[in-house]
Amino acid sequence: MNKLLATLIAGLFATSVYAQTQAQSTTSTGAPTTSTATSTATGMTPAAGTQTGVTPAAGTTVVGTTSSAQGTSATGTTAASTGNADADKDITKANQKEAKEIAKQDEKITKATNQANEKKAKAQQKADKKIADANEKVMKADPEDKAKASAKAEKKIAEAHADAHETMIKADEKAQKKIVEANAEKAKAQNKAAEKTGKAVAEAHKDAAK
Amino acid identity of 26?
T
Domain shared by 55 and 131, yes or no: yes
Residues 6 or more apart whose Cβ sits within 8 Å of residue 177: none
More confident residue, 139 or 204: 139
Q: 199 with 135, same domain?
A: yes
Q: Are residues 24 and 81 in the same domain?
A: no
Q: Measured between alpha carbons, how far is 14 from 30 in angstroms, rounded to an integer? A: 24
Please give the residue that has the higher pLDDT: either 34 or 206: 206
Pair 203, 84: CB distance under 8 Å? yes
Distance CA 108, CA 189 (A): 15
- Domain extent for 26: 1-30
Same domain, 138 and 165: yes
Q: DSSP readout, 133-149? A: HHHHHHHHS-GGGHHHH
Lowest-pLDDT range of 17-21, 59-63, 179-183: 59-63
In terms of pLDDT, which residue wins out, 194 or 43?
A: 194
pLDDT cut 70: percent of the chain above it: 62
Q: Tell me, what's the pLDDT at 137?
A: 93
pLDDT of residue 80: 60
Mean pLDDT of the chain: 73
Task: Answer yes or no: is pLDDT of 107 > 50.
Answer: yes
Looking at residue 96, its amino acid is: Q
How many other CB atoms are there within 10 angstroms of residue 144's CB atom?
Answer: 7
Residue 165 and residue 123 share a domain: yes
Number of domains in the chain: 2
Find the mean pLDDT for residues 9-25.
Answer: 44
Q: Kindly write down the DSSP assignment for every residue of 34-80, as one continuous string.
A: SHHHHHHHHTPPPPTT--S--PPPTTPPPS--HHHHHGGGS------
Q: For residues 61 and 82, state if they share a domain.
A: yes
Asked if 1 and 102 sit in the same domain, the reply is no
d(CA 62, CA 122): 17
Q: Are residues 26 and 42 in the same domain?
A: no
10 and 59 co-located in one domain? no
Residue-wise pLDDT tens digits, 25-55: 444 333 333 333 333 333 333 333 333 433 3
Instruction: Give the model confidence (pLDDT) of 134-143 as tens digits.
Output: 999 999 999 9
Give yes or no: residues 26 and 60 share one domain: no
- pLDDT tens for 130-178 read 999 999 999 999 999 999 999 999 999 999 999 999 999 999 999 999 9
**Which residue did the predictor score with more confidence, 59 or 78?**
78
Q: What is the pTM of this model?
A: 0.59
Mark whether 122 and 202 lie in a shared domain.
Answer: yes
Under DSSP, the state recorded for 71 is G
Question: 22 vs 17, 56, 117, CA distance in Å?
Answer: 9, 23, 28
Taking residue 183's Cβ as centre, other Cβ atoms within 10 Å add up to 19
Looking at the structure, tell me whether residues 2 and 47 fall in a common domain.
no
- Reported confidence tier of residue 79, pLDDT bands at 50, 70, 90: low
- Written in H, E and C, the secondary structure of 181-195 is HHHHHHHHHHHHHHH
Q: What is the pLDDT of residue 205?
A: 87
